[in-house]
Chain A
Amino acid sequence: MQIKVNGKDLVLEKELSVKELIDEQRIEAPEYVTVQLNEEFVDKNDFSSIIIKDGDSIEFLYFMGGGRI
């Protein structure tokens, strides 16, 4: 299946939870990343339960200021 991560195409072999994708993508400081799935904010508490499906578009949004985390 194919998804978009921050606008870039990514092929996944199987469906993943948001949490699993965060791990797989080695997102830095995952506790502070904001996630939008198909233009809807995903609550941090739902990272493990929400499954990313074929065609989904996911955005990882990072704090950016004196330091990016």
Chain B
Amino acid sequence: MKYSNEQLERYSRHIILKNVGVKGQEKLLGAKVLIVGTGGLGAPAAMYLAAAGIGTIGLVDFDRVELSNLQRQIIHSTKDIGKPKAISGQETIHAINPDVTVITYQEWINSQNITDIIEDRNYDFIIDGTDNFPAKFLINDACVLTGKPFSHAGIIRFEGQTMTYVPGKGPCYRCVFKDPPPPEAVPSCKQAGVLGVMGGIIGTVQATEALKYVLGIGQLLNGYLLTFDALEMNFRKVKLSQNRNCRICGDNPTIRELIDYEQQVCELKQH
């Protein structure tokens, strides 16, 4: 491809990197990343991927921006309250980098639409920026069944975790966590609370994984669960084993269709 002078300048700090260069930046500009959820995790991930020049970014979110989101969901601003998050996210991305094509999906993901969304643009990498377990298992299962790499993450209070799934190269989310916990066992999102920066720290790790995957550099977090404790300021990389009994990626998989698990009540609210 031919770079404009403006692009050469915009991406100059990438292009100067030995592991990126002109070729690597071209890979980024040709890459397609799907971000499910534009909340605490998805917001910073989307903004950094946009700034990095990921050519196509898909944003999935049915929610609208609320005042209580703004403590951590930095892709949205005070003026966006009431606006669909996918649209607000699209506007912020375009303001950061007009090179990026943003595809918006104003839907809640479920067993009927997730595969279509992933295959809509044949996304290269998927980022799970959701805040609930039914969605996390759905994304995991859909990625395993369609053979797509994805980054899982979760944050709560002062803690976070993330892992990367690469088909055939290490465990999936379900290898580690067999089934979603029952809705009544999980403190509601509002009850639990989260330090605003947690999404920034873990969401940018997810964005880093997406960039590394596209560039084909470094070691990804496949086969590891990275845990982060902000109070102790401690990152730990826990090595994970493959679970041969995993019901979706194990030796004898029994899950062949996507499952709609019951959601927490606070996730069901419609606007």
Contacts and interface: CB of A to CB of B under 8 A. Distances in A.
A63 B177 contact: yes
A61 B187 contact: no
Nearest to A29: B185
Nearest to B238: A59
Interface centre among A43, A61, A68 (most CB of B within 10 A): A68
Contacts of B25: none
Contacts of B160: 64
B133 A66 contact: yes
Q: How big is the B interface, by class?
A: 35 or more
Nearest to B239: A39
Interface residues of A, number: 20
Given A40-B241, A63-B133, A66-B192, 20 more contacts: A7-B236, A29-B181, A34-B177, A36-B240, A61-B177, A63-B181, A63-B186, A64-B155, A64-B156, A65-B132, A65-B186, A66-B187, A66-B266, A67-B189, A68-B154, A68-B157, A68-B159, A68-B187, A69-B181, A69-B186
A39 B189 CA distance: 31
Contacts of A7: 236
Interface string B213-246: 0000000000001000000000010111101010
Interface of B: 130-133, 136, 154-157, 159-161, 175-178, 181, 185-189, 191-192, 225, 236, 238-241, 243, 245, 264, 266-267
12 contacts: A32-B185, A39-B239, A61-B177, A63-B186, A64-B156, A64-B160, A64-B161, A65-B136, A65-B186, A66-B266, A67-B156, A67-B192
B225 A63 contact: no
A69 B243 contact: no
B91 to A, nearest CB: 26
Interchain residue pairs A-B with the least CB separation, the first 4: A64-B154, A67-B187, A67-B186, A66-B189
A67 to B, nearest CB: 4
Interface string A25-69: 000010010101001110100000000000000010111111111
Decide if the interface of chain B is mainly helix, strand, loop or mixed.
Answer: mixed
A41 B181 contact: no
Contacts of B181: 29, 32, 63, 69
A40 B236 CA distance: 17
Contacts of A34: 176-178
A25 B18 CA distance: 47
B185 A36 contact: no
B131 A41 contact: no
Contact of A65 (B131, B176, B178, B243): B131
Nearest to B181: A32
B241 A66 contact: no
A29 B186 CA distance: 10
A42 to B, nearest CB: 10
A43 B250 CA distance: 15
Given A66-B131, A69-B185, A41 B154 contact: no
